[in-house]
A and B are shown apart, each in its own frame.
Chain A
Amino acid sequence: MSENPPVLTSEPDVVAGADEAPIILSTQNITKVFPGTVALDNVSFNVRQGKVNVLIGENGAGKSTLMKILVGVEQPTSGKILLDGREIHLNSPLDAARLGIGIIYQELNLCANLSVVDNIFLARELRRRGLIDRKVQRQRTRELVSRLEQRIDPDALVGDLRIGQQQIIEIAKALAQDVRILIMDEPTSALSAAEVEILFRVIRELKSYGVTIIYISHKLEELLQIGDYITVLRDGRKVVEVEAAGVTVPWLIERMVGRSLVSMFAHQERQPGKVMLKVENLTLPRPGGGYVLDHVSFELREGEILGFYGLMGSGRSDLLDCLAGLLPPTAGSIWLNGAPVTSTTVSERIREGVVLVPEDRQNFGLVPTLSVMDNMLLASLKNYIEGFFLARRQEKSVTEQQIKELSIRVANPQQPITALSGGNQQKVVVSKCLLTRPQILLLDEPTRGIDVGAKQEIFDIMSRLADQRYGVIFVSSELKEILAMSDRVLVMSKGRLTGEFTAQEATEEKLVAASAVGHGPSNGDNWNGREA
């Protein structure tokens, strides 16, 4: 373990110095107890005016709970909240909104059946003579969306948008309100690098208007880039509060986890075997013109980790959906171990050994009414039948083993899944898929919302599967992850494959360039005009 002193410009737990921004909002000795868990233990958290106040910690450290207390969704068991030095009592999000505190929740809070405009102005409809002023609302929406440099139809139904776009809408919704303090709980978990850059531009703009930001993320480089102050939580306790300048990633990890992690982004050489999966000319037209998938062909070999990179909406997720049997492709063929795949349903694909860890955890990964255990075993129930019935004992032992293997933080396996922190829910979804004993594991943004330690665990699982000659396909928006994990990287843009690189060839620049092919100048940085 490295005993190097951390690079620091200021001591932990400093009091506001002369040049430090004033504290606008603070919690004092907040404790929050849930049945079976102490989520927050005596936390005093300071939020500095006009700055980006970063909050980090492992999955289940209590970050989201603290934020829910700051917006009145949850009430503290004990402790005080001070705004501008005065104690406030928040009984509902409405109270917080009145005080100018807004939040982008970790789990998206949008109505799938309503349009983008209706979602953005939900419960804050702009009116003219008592009626909703659709024209102005649509106009504002267009402005907001273009401020985030996206092209999303204001009248599109939110349910039809990909999760990354939904996250953009969630951000736009928060921007539509004039807030003094904006809380962002993992706003970028479903965004790729380009969109994150845009969000950061918007955050800097907000800062220049004096808006205070509280920012939560598991993407550490990102935090150091945007943060001004960093507070670390571990097991519900505050570990340290420092100025961001001078802080390094390894130091942060050590604060978060309590030990230092060995290099997580080291590529491992593997010797892929024979072709397992062959995809030929997979095509899926987009209703209203163009392609979601445009004649995609590729191969996956035994013991290979194949990474897919691309911008939001490039078709990566749709490709995985097709492979998992969720979307029927209109044309093209899939071959599994040399035999053409004719099955059309997810359950058949799972039996053939292809399973998907979906990108949208809430809507496709979890059953909120079921317990942790029932969620985990849902896809592999037939393995636990003894005689005629499900064998409880076997179910329990498998669950406990998984909880241990993936270090899932849970009070007991019968807990409702909704009582788990976001990252721990993700681990449950991954373990559900692993329990089907797949030959080919499809992972769509598997590290979404999980902490460094858990990321490492998921990468270990992927490596282990590959070493055991399984095939792994994974989609990620994190360049570093893609580069570290993949034996081969395929890049998609607008439904087409626009690049293929071996682990040796691949570099960040090449991937970014390939992902921008076919996009207009606004998206391409120095790579525009490369389209033939």
Chain B
Amino acid sequence: MNSARVGRSRRITQTDVMQFLLRGRAFIALILVLLVFSILQPGFLGPDNVIIMVKHTAIWALLAIGMTFVILTGGIDLSVGSIVGLTGMIAGGLINEGIIIPQLGIAIYPHTWMVLAISLLVGTLIGSVSGLVITRFKVAPFIATLGMLYVARGMAGLRNDGYTFPNLVGQPEYGNTGFEILGAGHFLGFNYAGEYVKLYYSIWILVAFALIAYFVTSRLPFGRHVYAIGGNENTAELSGVRVNRAKVIVYSISGFCAAMVGLIITSQLVAAHPRTGDTYELTAIAAVVLGGTSLDGGRGSILGTVIGALVITVLTDGLVTLGLSTFWQNVAKGAVIVAAVIIDQLQARWQEQIALQQQQELG
């Protein structure tokens, strides 16, 4: 009698632990990759590396947050990498060449703040064009944004005939200096292993975006609508959700986030290159999926995506520090992504079984 009871209560704690592990799957993955790399490469968690990873996290997470909105509606946005490149080129052009008005033979150099605003606006508009093509003409998101991937990348090259805009520091007499601050400036920081780790502006931008996105998805009607559209578009429509409008908005959000990333990278490099952001869309999608968001739409969370982006960052940077060839890096990255999704598929089944087991233990 007594031993049976002991056995029973021990089993319950076991299942409880299992359930906790499964819920925090992305988090576990993060700890795992951190562990593996710090064992393989003792200096992995040293200050230099942490500084780099912090920077990269902001980039992947910002892209992935925008992508999360799109994927939650059951769509996909393949154009974000190209938007990163194009908005960088637009910002670079505005700083180095200004807005040229040929009829008057003059160029207007907008203020740095205007440069940022125009670039963000362009990114958002590109996103909304994708959204309009998808909703008005019923083009599949994959195709519409694949088209946009090529168009935006092409435009990025056209902007300066395939050349880079170098040295984007602006000129004091034009009043357009300070662009590099976005990438290099920081606010607060902390001492870590004897070095000062700066919290760059990009990190704060990420924190702000993540918080806003979190509240939008979980506490605003719009967020609920996004989930509903991904779950069943017909029902959403018939419940009075303006499905088309919501879709245009999510692609615009994704475009906006991509433009932000384009600006950050361009500012960090103090140069705009037309090929910047190539294949970033795939990394962003991987981060979203690693964070537990379903590609079928309707399921997922911003928090998951942020953790997914952390995993991707640690994984990517870790493989680089190991000194593996890029070929092996790709092999490892791909394997981890697929493995994580397999676990995700299994977890639903396990969770059900665990719940059942608990029920039976109690009943």
Residues of A within 8 A of B (CB): 33-36, 38, 77, 324, 326, 345-347, 349-351, 355-356, 358, 363-370, 374, 377-379, 381-382, 385, 388-390, 432, 436
- Do B236 and A367 touch across chains, with their CB atoms under 8 A apart? yes
- Do A366 and B240 touch across chains, with their CB atoms under 8 A apart? no
Instruction: Show 25 residue pairs from A and B whose CB-CB distance is below 8 angstroms, ordered by the A residue.
Output: A33-B356, A33-B359, A36-B359, A38-B363, A77-B360, A326-B238, A346-B240, A347-B241, A356-B238, A363-B235, A364-B238, A365-B235, A367-B227, A367-B228, A367-B232, A367-B235, A367-B236, A368-B231, A369-B298, A369-B299, A374-B228, A381-B221, A381-B224, A385-B221, A390-B224
Most buried by B among A363, A367, A381: A367
In the complex, what distance in Å separates the CA atom of A401 from the CA atom of B78?
44
- Do B239 and A378 touch across chains, with their CB atoms under 8 A apart? yes
Closest chain-A Cβ to B351's Cβ sits at a distance in Å of 9
Which of A351, A363, A379, A390 touches B239 (beta carbons < 8 Å)?
A: A379
Asked if B237 lies at the interface with its beta carbon under 8 angstroms from chain A, I say yes
- Do A370 and B298 touch across chains, with their CB atoms under 8 A apart? yes
Residues facing A in B222-259 (CB within 8 A) are 224-225, 227-228, 230-232, 234-242
In the complex, what distance in Å separates the CA atom of A34 from the CA atom of B225?
29
Which residue of chain B has its CB nearest to the CB of A362?
A: B232
- Do A390 and B231 touch across chains, with their CB atoms under 8 A apart? no
Which residue of chain A has its CB nearest to the CB of B245?
A: A347
Which residue of chain A has its CB nearest to the CB of B72?
A: A369
- Given the known interface contacts A374-B224, A382-B221, the answer about A35 and B355 at a Cβ–Cβ threshold of 8 Å is yes
Contact partners of A349 in chain B: CB under 8 A: 240
In the complex, what distance in Å separates the CA atom of A351 from the CA atom of B242?
12
Which residue of chain A has its CB nearest to the CB of B223?
A: A390
Residues facing A in B252-290 (CB within 8 A) are none
- Do B242 and A378 touch across chains, with their CB atoms under 8 A apart? no
Asked if B215 lies at the interface with its beta carbon under 8 angstroms from chain A, I say yes
Closest chain-A Cβ to B211's Cβ sits at a distance in Å of 13
Asked if B1 lies at the interface with its beta carbon under 8 angstroms from chain A, I say no
Which residue of chain B has its CB nearest to the CB of A436?
A: B240
- Given the known interface contacts A367-B228, A374-B224, A390-B221, the answer about A350 and B235 at a Cβ–Cβ threshold of 8 Å is no
- Do B240 and A350 touch across chains, with their CB atoms under 8 A apart? yes
Asked if B219 lies at the interface with its beta carbon under 8 angstroms from chain A, I say yes
- Do A390 and B234 touch across chains, with their CB atoms under 8 A apart? no
Most buried by A among B224, B227, B358: B224
Contact partners of B239 in chain A: CB under 8 A: 346, 350, 378-379, 432
Asked if B220 lies at the interface with its beta carbon under 8 angstroms from chain A, I say yes
- Do B240 and A379 touch across chains, with their CB atoms under 8 A apart? yes
Most buried by A among B239, B240, B242, B360: B239
Contact partners of B232 in chain A: CB under 8 A: 363, 366-369
In the complex, what distance in Å separates the CA atom of A346 from the CA atom of B236?
10
- Do A347 and B242 touch across chains, with their CB atoms under 8 A apart? yes
- Given the known interface contacts A367-B298, A369-B299, the answer about A389 and B228 at a Cβ–Cβ threshold of 8 Å is no
A-B residue pairs, 5 tightest by C-beta: A369-B298, A369-B231, A367-B231, A381-B221, A350-B240
Most buried by B among A326, A355, A389: A389
- Do B359 and A369 touch across chains, with their CB atoms under 8 A apart? no
Most buried by A among B227, B238, B241, B297: B238
Which residue of chain B has its CB nearest to the CB of A356?
A: B238
Most buried by B among A378, A389, A390: A378
- Given the known interface contacts A326-B238, A381-B224, the answer about A369 and B215 at a Cβ–Cβ threshold of 8 Å is no
